[in-house]
């Protein structure tokens, strides 16, 4: 029995060894190196002197850091809950279809998700172009005048948020569809026999059983939206007047434009800790809410 147990342990270690090696190589080592760099004044490439907590003191006295943090939080408010609600509504509608029609509609909603960010931003930059954008007549009808969306402090973040929801929501729809298909039809049939209305079916069966998927979607979206960079960089460059400047743009600027590797690492460490704390806290709160 002891020999068989040792063989099982050897086999298990052999199976997980490739994952552990790759994880250590591409995630753990870079993370530890980033933390180490954050305590130095090193450039992006090369060594530097140990400066202790100087980078963090400088960071917490940097107004641009607080502006970026505020913009990240604003973007999270604009995207995380709205994209979850929209995805759930689409999934409920698609789930009522059947056969090839359901597959077609689902493919239409999922199609934007497979597009690279450069294509997505180019499409929307063209549609919202101040002079030739095909959506400018609609904006002019609402506001009374054309609006340079990505050059307007009040419009830029909602616009980027709307584009992000359109681009990424297909994946969330798939998650909700999978959750809906795991709910036994027998539950709905039994409730219908008892005279339950559609609202009662949703509130008493669908929503409680779909809550784990909802918690997963909310947590994934929170993590993804806190890491906002590509859309803002390509559409607005952080402007105008830093109104769309986010934390990863600060990391990019300090590291690749100003060659401040140590300071950029300090910003990245703060973002990493923020994502970890907020996502774990949110997931635990959602789990507690799901048990009630």
CA dihedral 187→190→195→197, nearest 10 degrees, is 10
Mean pLDDT of 218-237: 91
Average pLDDT over residues 209-232: 90
More confident residue, 179 or 47: 179
pLDDT band at residue 2, thresholds of 50, 70 and 90? low
Question: pLDDT value at position 291?
Answer: 61
CA atoms of 149 and 236, how far apart (whole Å):
9
- The pLDDT value recorded for residue 250 is 93
User: Greater confidence, 99 or 128?
Assistant: 128
pLDDT at 290: 58
pLDDT digits (tens, 9 = 90+) for 59-115: 999 999 999 999 999 999 999 999 999 999 999 999 888 778 888 888 888 899 999
pLDDT at 171: 92
Predicted confidence at residue 292, as pLDDT, reads 58
Residue 289 pLDDT class (50, 70, 90 cuts): low
Q: What is the CATH number of domain 69-259?
A: 1.10.3720.10
pLDDT at site 209: 87
Q: What is the pLDDT of residues 270-280, one digit of tens each?
A: 999 999 898 88
Question: What are the two backbone dihedrals, phi and then psi, of residue 168, each rounded to the nearest 5 degrees?
Answer: -100, -10
Section 151-161 average pLDDT: 93
């Amino acid at each position: 029995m002891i020999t068989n147990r040792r063989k099982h342990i050897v086999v298990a270690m052999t199976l997980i060894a490739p994952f552990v090696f790759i994880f250590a190589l591409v995630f753990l080592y870079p993370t530890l190196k980033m933390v180490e760099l954050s305590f130095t004044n090193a450039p992006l490439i090369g060594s530097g002197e140990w400066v202790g907590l100087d980078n963090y003191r400088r960071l917490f006295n940097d107004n641009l850091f607080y502006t970026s943090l505020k913009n990240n939080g604003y973007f999270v408010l604009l995207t995380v809950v709205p994209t979850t609600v929209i995805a759930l509504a689409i999934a409920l509608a698609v789930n009522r279809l059947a056969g090839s029609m359901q597959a077609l509609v689902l493919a239409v909603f999922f199609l934007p998700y497979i597009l690279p960010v450069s294509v997505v931003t180019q499409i929307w930059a063209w549609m919202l172009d101040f002079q030739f954008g095909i959506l400018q007549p609609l904006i002019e009808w609402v506001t009374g005048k054309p609006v340079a969306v990505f050059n307007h402090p009040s419009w830029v973040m909602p616009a980027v948020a709307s584009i992000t929801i359109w681009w990424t929501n297909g994946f969330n729809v798939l998650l909700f569809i999978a959750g809906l298909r795991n709910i036994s039809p027998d539950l709905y049939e039994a409730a219908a026999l008892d005279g339950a209305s559609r609202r009662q079916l949703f509130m008493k069966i669908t929503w409680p059983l779909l809550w784990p998927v909802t918690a997963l979607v909310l947590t994934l979206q929170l993590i993804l939206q806190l890491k906002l960079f590509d859309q803002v960089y390509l559409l607005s460059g952080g402007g105008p007047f830093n109104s769309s400047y986010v934390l990863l743009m600060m990391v990019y600027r300090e590291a690749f434009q100003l060659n401040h590797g140590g300071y950029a690492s300090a910003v990245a460490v703060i973002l990493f800790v923020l994502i970890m704390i907020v996502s774990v806290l949110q997931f635990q709160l959602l789990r507690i809410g799901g048990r009630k």
